[in-house]
Each structure stands twice: as C-alpha cells, then as structure tokens.
Structure 1
Amino acid sequence: MKSHSIRFWLQRVLLLMLVLLFSGSQQSFIIADAAPPVNAQASAKARQLLAYLSNLPAGMLISGQHDYLEAPDEQNNKLQQISGQYAGLHGYEFGGLANQSHTALREQRQHVVDSAIRWSEDGGIVAITFHQALPGTPKTWKNVQAKITQAEFNRYVTPGTSQYKQLIADLDEAALSLKSLRDADVPVLWRPYHEMNGSWFWWGNKQNYAKLWDLMYDRFVRVHHLDNLLWVWSPNAPNAYSTPYNQTFPGIHRVDILAADIYNNDYKSSYYTELLKLAQGKPIGIGESDILPSAKVLQNQPDWAYAMSWGKELSAVNSQAAIRHFMNQNNIITRELLHESFR
C-alpha cells in the first residue's frame, strides 16, 4: 500500500508539471522550444504531440504496445489485464500480410482506424507501422520479405515505370484510411519502411532508400495532405545483422522522430548514443522490442521517449510479474497519465 501511494503521488506531481507545460501561454513556449515538424502544414495536435515528446523529462518513458492488423486491440488489452495499466502508446499495423482481398484489407484498416480514434479520444498516442508487400504482388509476409536487386528496386522509385505506378496505387489506397484519422484530428506516429538497414525487407539496404521515403512523404503530404502524420524513421539496432544508422538515413529534414528496433535484450549504449547524436535534438524512441528494458537500462539511457513492445512478444518473453513491475514503475507513463495531460 505504501509503495502504491508513493507512485500515485509521484505520478500526480508529474501530471501537474505536464499539464502546466501544455496549458495557456506555456504551450507556445514549449512548441517553440521543440524542433518544428518536417511538414510545415502539420496539424495543431501533431505539433502538440511532437512538442510533448520533445520535452519529456529525462528518465520518463511512455510505455507502448503493438497490435496486429487482424486484431487491433488484443495485445494492448492483454497488457492491461496483466498489469492493470494501459500503455500510453498503442501501435497498429497497416500492411496486409495474410493474402487479404482488397475488400478485406480495407475493412481491417477501418477496424484499425476505429480503434485508433477511440484510443486517441481516451488520451493515448497512436502509432502505425506499415509492412508493405512488394507492390504488384499478393499482400503476404513472404512478399514483404521479397528479395529484389538494386536494379529492380530502382524501377519502383522511377516515375513512369509500371512498378512505380503499382507503388503509387498502394500508397493511395493506404492514404484513404489515413484520411479518416486526419479528419478525426488524430495525430499519428507514422512508421513506414522500418528496419531499412537490414536485408530482410524488400526496401532493405538499398543505396537510394531515401528516394522511397521521399516518394511516400511527397505523396502523403503534398497530394493527400495527411497533415496529422509525424514521420518516424525506425532502423534496426546496428548489430551484426544491420548496417550503421547513417547509411540509410533520409536526412534530418525528413524525419520527426528516430526510433531504434532492439531485440534480445541487446540495449547497448552505442545504439542509444549514436541515435541520439543523429537526431540532433529530435525525440528518439525504441520502435520495437521484445524484452522490456530494465530500470538500469533506462537510468543509463534516459532520453528514450517511448518503448513499444512488439505484439505477442510481450508475454512470450516477459513474465507476468516482469510486465506488472515495468508498467507500475514511477517513471513509466501510461494512458491514464496521458489522458490527464491532453484532456
């Protein structure tokens, strides 16, 4: 009871501080203090969210949980059932991985949109990952991991080719669903073409990866006016299977947030310090993880803004006791705290 009471009051002190930061005249100060969104037309709520992430006190971490396209609330609800707390950030999937028909994929994305709107209304942060199958092929996991050469990749980012037209058609279809979130004024941490410094996705380790990133950015921002998106560049941790961050970085002018994917409890300090340097003051996060970061990791790496557990990995590699402990630490920001901050 005593530890619960201490946590309660520590959270309320933090809550008061965050509310003051984002109320009245203080809000304009905080937004000015943060790097502006890369999209000059970004919505007010997107700007507010980016400012919030940019100004989190060192050592505070927003908890996150990813869910799959076919069941967009399952793992997040499981986290709440185990720990008594909802994650502050809810990750969703937008890519078709099960050979869905066009109609089925649109319906599944609508379920994601509906859940994301409810989540945002309850004060939570929305993140969306896009595992895009190789354009022009069935939407399966195998085709997300299609092996293509550099020359083949070039055709997808060259205007006028049939491959380029297929890519644009896929992007335009995804944009239709994202527009529903824009119209509902839901800011989204948009996380496409992640782990690009590895070789397991069709967009991975390509010399001109930035062309693909820029193509999507220009299509979504200039054509579809998706001004609710904050752009998250999410490489794999530069381990034995991945290249250094800077080899596939599209440039600081094209990303709002940088988030490393870290598995197998491999929270090396170099992954953190190198990303922090590359970010030049922009927020950094843990885009995917399986084993939850320990208190020691978070103490030594205090500028992570959030950490998102990936799907079923949450309970596959973490005990229920470990999940409860993590979610109920004084420095972990849950949806309840976010709700009070953004209401």
Structure 2
Amino acid sequence: MKHIFLALLLTPFILHAQSDPQATPAAKQLHQRLYKLMQRGIMFGHQDDLAYGVGWKYEHGRSDVRSVCGDGPAVYGWDLGHLELGRSHNLDSVPFDSLRSYIRTVYESGGINTLSWHGNNPATGGSAWDTSLAVTAILPGGSSSATYTAWLDKLADFMLSLKAGDGTLIPVIFRPFHEHTGSWFWWGQHQCTSMEFRTLWQYTVNYLQIQKHVHNLLFAYSAADFNNEKDYLERWPGDDFVDIIGFDLYQSGSAANYQHLLRERLHVLQEIAAAHGMIPALTETGLERIPEASWWTQTLLPVLQNYKLSYVLVWRNGRPDHYYAPYPGQASAEDFKKFHANEHTLFLEEAKSIKDKAESPTLKAESIKQKVKS
C-alpha cells in the first residue's frame, strides 16, 4: 500500500491555466517552475529572511537560515502592510525601497518571492486586526470604495516597480486576505459574507489586471482553520482567480496535536489542488522559538514528506522572543541542518539549479481558451 500511495504522490496533476491570461513571460515561467519544482521536493521559505534576524538588522548578505545551514531559503516572504498608507516603511519597519532591493536580489539569485498584505482597515483607518466591518464599505458603490481603490493604485505602482537589472518585471506570488476563515482580520469570516469576500477577491484581481495592467502576479488563496473541502471552498472566488492554494497553521500545543491537524488539512488541500489544478503550499507554519531540538526532522518533516507541496514557509525572526527559524547556537540548529540535507526539502542552491524554463505542464482543456473577465 505504501508503494501505491507514493506512486500517487508522484503522479503529476493537470495544472489549471494561470489566473492572468496576459501574464508576463516571467510570470508564466514562475507558474511552470513552481509546478516542476513540486515534482522534486518541497521548497523551504522564511519571512523577511534577508532583512533582519535574531540580534541583527539590515546587514547586507546576512541570513539566519544561511548562517545555520550554509544555504538560503528557496522562498522568501515579505509583507506590504502600510504601503497603502504611503509610508516609507512596512508594518515590520522594513523600508519599501529596501524591500524592492531584496525582492530583486532573491529573483536574480534564483529564489522565489511571496508577498502578503496586512493592510489597514480601509473603513476605519485601524490596523488589519481592527475587525470593524469594512468589506461592504469598500466594494464598488460603498462609502469607502474610493479609499480602497486608491490603495490598490499604490499597490499596483509597487508591483510595477519590481524590476530586475535587465528591466524584466519580477514575478511574485501575491497572497492577499490570508487566514480569511478566521475572524481576526477585517476581511475575516465573521466580518463579511461569503459572497462579499468572493466579490472583494474578484474585484481586486480584476482591478489590478484589467485597470492597472499588472501582469507579474500569481495569486495565492490562503485559509486558516477548516475541517473539510466544503469549509475550505466556502469563499472560493473561482478557479480563474487563483493560482496557488494553501493555509496557515502554527504549533501552539503538543507536537502530536499539530501533526494531526497538519495531516488532516494537507490531505484536504491536496485533494482540492488535484481537483482544481492548483499548486498547493503550506503558506505559513512554525513553532515560536523552536524549543524542541528535533522539531524539524521529528515533527514537521514526517508529515510534509507524505504530501506533494510546492513550499512551506515559516514566519519571521523578529525578536529574541519571537522567531521561527533557527540561528547559530539555537536549540534546533543542528536538527535544521539535517532538515536541509533531507531529500524531500529544497533550499536555494538546489531550487535554482532547476532552470526557469520548465517544461510546460498539461493544462485543463477548457482553460486553454483566453478567459474574458467582466
């Protein structure tokens, strides 16, 4: 039975066409590259890896991950919170000018960038965690729709400013409205109806692609808690508006409970990915301060290696009391080296050896046609 299960894991699924029919060549290559890399292993990602770590900030070329295992992450997470306000720094104090530079460095070194957006509440001006009702107000015709549209203009300008040395628009994974099945953000489950959330997602994608001509994005749909496929897809905006699916899950109790939830949700995610032709990922996870010395190979890896995923991303190393990747001398550092060396994980050096010009995956027949969005 084990051999049959592993064979199924290695069978390529039929990949849906990209959400953007006018995607740039580099964005198309990224979509196909994600698919191809997934056949080789699971990429490791880390939030804000190049910007700061435990005991340091803004030191050129430094990375806690690289300091431990001699290799960088394959995926780098960043956040756009406060870009909508016109600030010079994001909500984690990273200058946006530096963020552009980091994104370019990652792209030109063969890594992959993913952007989340902890945008403020556009109806009240409060933080992303201000759960006052906002979605109804920012949809077309709403009292705060002009504010939200102006925020999207700033977002579009930033995305279009991401350029490599040769002028190529850098493709990035954009992950808006994450953890929407929870209720701790203004776009959460108790803050809007399913129809309102779907409308918000579709409006955002259409505005960026059609009105602002932003074509270097892959869109990631990332949930929090869910029990089954019905829960996960309750607010699904449609296959033509998503490229990557995932969820966020952190260990907050025992390792056994975390592994149980992770297995259940990865199983659901993998089935949905196959049915809809989406690239699956564990978009956020981790154990704060990683006090378990063998957490990487005894807790995380035994679950991940049984699933076919594009990447797993752990959160940022923000403070000595708030970090999710090891640093030299940290309790799990030696175990992390084993995690890095494992055949199921991909870090930067191995990931970049697989050329961007991946073989074209099979597309669903109905998706080959250019879709027209209203």
User: TM-score interval w.r.t. the shorter chain?
Assistant: 0.7 to 0.9
Distance, in Å, in 1 between the alignment partners of 2:68 and 2:50 is 22
Given that 1:64 and 1:89 are in contact with CA atoms closer than 8 Å, whether structure 2 keeps it comes out as yes
Distance, in Å, in 1 between the alignment partners of 2:109 and 2:132 is 42
Given that 1:69 and 1:108 are in contact with CA atoms closer than 8 Å, whether structure 2 keeps it comes out as no
Q: Which runs of 4+ in 1 moved over 6 A?
A: 72-76
1:131-150 → structure 2 map (5 Å cutoff): 131-135=118-122, 137-138=124-125, 143-149=127-133
Q: Residue 81 of structure 2: which of 95, 104, 108 is its match?
A: 95
Q: Which residue of 2 aligns with 1:192?
A: 176
Q: Residue 202 of structure 1: which of 186, 202, 205 is its match?
A: 186
Q: Which residue of 1 aligns with 2:264?
A: 270
Task: State the one-letter code of the partner of 1:196.
Answer: H
Q: CA deviation at 1:229?
A: 0.3
Q: Which residue of 1 aligns with 2:67?
A: 81
Change (3 A) 1:80 1:238: same
Secondary structure in structure 2 of the residue aligned to 1:209: helix
Q: Which residue of 2 aligns with 1:309?
A: 314
| Match status 1:113 vs 2:96 | no
Change (3 A) 1:239 1:325: farther
Given that 2:182 and 2:225 are in contact with CA atoms closer than 8 Å, whether structure 1 keeps it comes out as no
Q: CA deviation at 1:105?
A: 3.7
Q: CA deviation at 1:76?
A: 7.5
Which 10-residue stretch deviates more, 266-275 or 291-300?
291-300
Q: Residue 331 of structure 1: which of 309, 333, 344 is its match?
A: 344
Q: Which residue of 1 aligns with 2:151?
A: 170
Task: State the one-letter code of the partner of 1:308.
Answer: L
Distance, in Å, in 2 between the alignment partners of 1:153 and 1:177 is 23
Change (3 A) 1:282 1:239: closer
Secondary structure in structure 2 of the residue aligned to 1:300: coil
| Match status 1:55 vs 2:36 | yes
Secondary structure in structure 2 of the residue aligned to 1:167: helix
Aligned length: 302
Secondary structure in structure 1 of the residue aligned to 2:267: helix
Q: Which runs of 5+ in 1 are unaligned?
A: 1-29
Q: Which residue of 2 aligns with 1:212?
A: 200
Given that 2:135 and 2:200 are in contact with CA atoms closer than 8 Å, whether structure 1 keeps it comes out as no
Which 10-residue stretch deviates more, 281-290 or 100-109?
100-109
Q: Residue 294 of structure 1: which of 293, 300, 303 is its match?
A: 300
Given that 2:279 and 2:310 are in contact with CA atoms closer than 8 Å, whether structure 1 keeps it comes out as yes
| Match status 1:227 vs 2:228 | no
Secondary structure in structure 1 of the residue aligned to 2:115: strand
Secondary structure in structure 2 of the residue aligned to 1:284: strand
Q: Residue 234 of structure 2: which of 238, 243, 247 is its match?
A: 247
Q: Which residue of 2 aligns with 1:320?
A: 333
Distance, in Å, in 2 between the alignment partners of 1:76 and 1:248 is 40
Aligned-CA RMSD value: 3.0
Greater helix share, 1 or 2? 1
Distance, in Å, in 1 between the alignment partners of 2:130 and 2:144 is 14
Q: CA deviation at 1:261?
A: 0.8
Normalising by structure 2, what TM-score? 0.73
